[in-house]
């Protein structure tokens, strides 16, 4: 098996800690441990007291019942027993693709999007077609193009929602049409939902709530501001599909760690406070960005709605000099 280098991670590994101004990150102002503990009425005293007595063994292999219960609250049709804890959303995506994709399969991947969603299937021997997004259509892909790409052996459609890097959120009606097309060949729909919108919009729906073969992956890294807690999850309605993930998961990880599980559960219990904090940060920073863009004649963008990533267009930037520009 051969795979391309993971471009964004290679870039961050070189520059993340030495950059004076880091505008590549899309996590919303990562919280300190003290900020997390302050979410509790007793400033985390009870939490820390209980944690000090906890044995640091393997813990709950699939994630603690408390963690799974909190994650299940994010969905309407996914029971807690169908939640599997992973090493972040990258671990969740890898688990799904590793479990389901085989040589000869056909995969359709939204593009551009998170590199995992097309290069892992390709490395597993699948044929991957890119489903292009378009700036003039607010970074949406075209359903007619998806319809033309579908084949009898299409195994999976891979999406980001919201999209990385543009920040565009695909609405419920659009996703329903994707699902309807997937059903014609029995394809899975995998959606990396790590950029969960900060607004509780009726127009947004997790794919796991929309389709019995829909697979949602997510983590605490972006919307919830704790990427240092390496905790993500896979969610699906289908118990048999969850069992498939369980089998493959045993080969890639034992557990997520006692501390990560406990801290992640605490953050999810106080999700309303965390989301309110982060919405204020994103809205303030978006106004700063908007003011700058509107005063720069050679810069433009389609503004995201309640997510922490966006795609800024520089009209006269030579593509061959993009890396040099970013470093400077």
What pLDDT shows up at residue 25? 79
Beta strands 154-160; 312-314: pairing state: unpaired
Residue 162 preceded by cis peptide, ω within 30: yes
What pLDDT shows up at residue 107? 99
Number of Cβ within a 10 Å radius of residue 74: 19
Q: What angle do CA 296, 299, 300 make, to 5 degrees?
A: 115
- Domain enclosing residue 296, as ranges: 1-328
What stretches in the chain show pLDDT beneath 70?
none
Question: Which two tokens mark 248?
Answer: 């493959």
Rounded Cα distance between 162 and 197, Å, is 7
CB within 8 Å of 164: residues ≥ 6 apart: 26, 113, 114, 192, 194, 195, 309
What pLDDT shows up at residue 200? 75
Burial 263-296, CB ≥16 within 10 A → b, else e: bbbbbbbbbeebbebbbeebeeebeebeeeeeee
DSSP-derived secondary structure letter, 266: H
Q: Which of 268, 306, 78 is nearest to 171 (CA)?
A: 306
Tens digit of each residue's pLDDT (9 = 90 or more) over 129-164: 999 999 999 999 999 999 999 999 999 999 999 999
pTM for this model (two decimals)? 0.94
What pLDDT shows up at residue 24? 74
Tell me how long the chain is. 328
Query: Domain holding 122: CATH number?
Result: 3.40.640.10
Number of domains in the chain: 1
Q: What angle do CA 219, 225, 230 make, to 5 degrees?
A: 45
DSSP-derived secondary structure letter, 21: S
Question: Which two tokens mark 64?
Answer: 């603690």
Largest CA distance in the chain: 59
């Amino acid at each position: 098996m051969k795979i391309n280098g993971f471009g964004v991670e290679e870039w961050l590994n070189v520059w993340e800690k030495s950059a004076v101004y880091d505008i590549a990150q899309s996590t919303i102002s990562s919280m300190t441990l003290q900020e997390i503990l302050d979410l509790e009425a007793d400033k985390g005293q009870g939490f820390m007291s209980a944690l000090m007595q906890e044995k640091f063994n393997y813990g709950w292999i699939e994630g603690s019942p408390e963690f799974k219960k909190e994650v299940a609250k994010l969905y309407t049709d996914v029971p807690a027993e169908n939640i599997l804890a992973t090493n972040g959303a990258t671990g969740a995506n890898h688990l799904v693709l590793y479990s389901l994709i085989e040589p000869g399969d056909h995969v359709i991947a939204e593009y551009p999007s998170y590199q995992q969603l097309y290069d892992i299937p390709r490395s597993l021997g699948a044929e991957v077609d890119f489903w292009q997004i378009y700036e003039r259509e607010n970074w949406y892909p075209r359903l007619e193009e998806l319809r033309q790409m579908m084949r009898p052996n299409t195994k999976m459609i891979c999406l980001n929602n919201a999209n990385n890097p543009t920040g565009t959120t695909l609405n419920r009606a659009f996703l329903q049409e994707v699902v309807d097309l997937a059903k014609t060949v029995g394809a899975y729909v995998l959606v990396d939902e790590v950029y969960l919108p900060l607004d509780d919009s009726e127009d947004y729906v997790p794919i796991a709530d929309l389709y019995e073969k829909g697979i949602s992956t997510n983590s605490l890294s972006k919307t919830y501001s704790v990427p240092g807690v390496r905790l993500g999850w896979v969610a699906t309605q289908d118990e048999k599909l969850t069992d498939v993930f369980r089998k493959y998961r045993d080969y890639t990880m034992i557990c997520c760690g006692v501390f990560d599980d406990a801290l992640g559960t605490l953050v999810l219990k106080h999700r309303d406070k965390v989301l309110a904090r982060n919405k204020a940060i994103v809205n303030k920073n978006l106004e700063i960005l908007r003011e700058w863009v509107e005063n720069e004649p050679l810069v433009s963008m389609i503004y995201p709605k309640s997510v922490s990533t966006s795609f800024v267009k520089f009209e006269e930037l030579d593509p061959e000099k993009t890396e040099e520009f970013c470093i400077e």
